Amino acid sequence: MAKQRGGGRQQTRRRDGKRGPASGGRRKPCAFCRDKVDVVDYKDFGTLRRAMSEKGKIRSARITGSCRRHQRQLAQAVKRARELGLLPYVSDR
Examine residue 9 and state whether it is found in any structural domain, yes or no: no
User: Regarding predicted confidence, which is higher, 64 or 16?
Assistant: 64
79, part of any domain: yes
> CATH number for the domain including 46?
4.10.640.10
pLDDT higher at 70 or 5: 70
Mean pLDDT of the chain: 84
DSSP codes, the chain? -PPP---SPPPPB-TTS-BS----S-PPPPHHHHTT-SS--TT-HHHHHHTB-TTSPBPPHHHH---HHHHHHHHHHHHHHHHTTSS-SS---
Summarised one tens digit per residue, pLDDT across range 17-58 is 666 566 667 778 899 999 999 999 999 999 999 999 999 999
For residue 1, being part of any structural domain is answered with: no
At 44 the pLDDT is: 92
How many domains are there within the chain?
A: 1
